[in-house]
């Protein structure tokens, strides 16, 4: 059994879509980035890559690469699942926390779990998603951005 962690953050800007865990959420501001800037999915990807000893997301999906412009991060997570399998591992479980002041994410929790679990070939019960706020402190609390932290475990397949 091996574990890995992932941490990511993206800036909130007007005129961008807000996509978290592969779920589009109605919001006046969205996350800025080269891909869809799905901070939760990016943290999960880095956690899995870490658990399998495969470096990080930036090595596999370089920021400036036009192939990843506005990319659907859940599709990139499927690629990561394939890399993990090629390395001889299978995901066991994922747990993640999203730090977001607004909007309220709770109504979207089950949909996020379902999309992430589907991409990883896991039961929904093996993918947990938690939410917290910044208590009006720091970049999360000032609604300048959203951060996500994830841990993943894998076992030899
Ligand atoms: Mg990112």
Do 21 and 108 meet the contact criterion of CB atoms below 8 Å apart?
yes
- The Cα 110–Cα 69 span in angstroms is 27
The least confident of 17-21, 38-42, 64-68, 78-82 is 64-68
Query: Is residue 140 within a helix (H) or strand (E), and if so which, with residue range?
Result: helix 138-141
Residue 157 pLDDT more than 90? yes
Entry pTM: 0.97
- Reported as a pLDDT band with limits 50, 70 and 90, residue 70 is confident
Distance 126 CA to ligand 1 centre (A): 23
Distance 44 CA to ligand 1 centre (A): 10
Q: Please list the residues that pair with 12 across neighbouring strands.
A: 31
* Band of pLDDT at residue 143, cut at 50, 70 and 90: very high
CA gap 127, 64 in Å, rounded: 30
Spatial CA neighbour of 152 closest among 85, 89, 80, 96: 96
**C-alpha of residue 33 to centroid of ligand 1, in Å:** 7
Residue 97 and residue 2: Cα distance in Å, rounded? 20
Q: What is the pLDDT of residue 65?
A: 87
Distance (Å) from CA 115 to ligand 1 centroid: 18
What is the residue-averaged pLDDT of the chain? 97
* β pairing state of 89-99 and 127-132: parallel
Q: How far is CA 130 from CA 14, 18, 31, 85, 148, in A?
A: 25, 17, 19, 26, 10
Residue 48: predicted pLDDT: 98
Query: CA-to-CA distance for 4 and 93, rounded, in angstroms?
Result: 11
Q: What is the pLDDT of residue 67?
A: 87
Distance (angstroms) between ligand 1 centre and the Cα of 145 equals 12
Cα of 34 to ligand 1 centre, how many Å?
8
- Sign (positive or negative) of CA dihedral 74, 104, 93, 111: negative
69 pLDDT exceeds 90?
Answer: no
Asked if residues 8 and 145 have their Cβ atoms less than 8 Å apart, the reply is: no
């Amino acid at each position: 059994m091996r574990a890995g962690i992932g941490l990511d953050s993206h800036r909130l800007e007007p005129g961008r879509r807000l996509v978290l865990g592969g779920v589009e959420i109605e919001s006046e501001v969205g996350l800025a980035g080269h891909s869809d800037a799905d901070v939760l999915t990016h943290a999960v990807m880095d956690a899995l890559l870490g658990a399998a000893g495969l470096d990080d997301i930036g090595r596999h999906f370089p920021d400036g690469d036009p192939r990843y412009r506005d990319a659907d991060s859940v599709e990139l997570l499927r690629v990561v699942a394939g890399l993990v399998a090629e390395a001889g591992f299978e995901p066991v479980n994922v747990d993640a926390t999203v730090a977001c002041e607004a909007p309220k994410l709770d109504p979207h929790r089950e949909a996020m779990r379902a999309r992430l679990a589907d991409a990883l070939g896991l039961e929904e019960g093996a993918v947990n998603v938690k939410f917290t706020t910044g208590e009006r402190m720091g970049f999360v609390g000032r609604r300048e951005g959203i951060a996500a932290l994830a841990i993943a475990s894998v076992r030899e397949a």
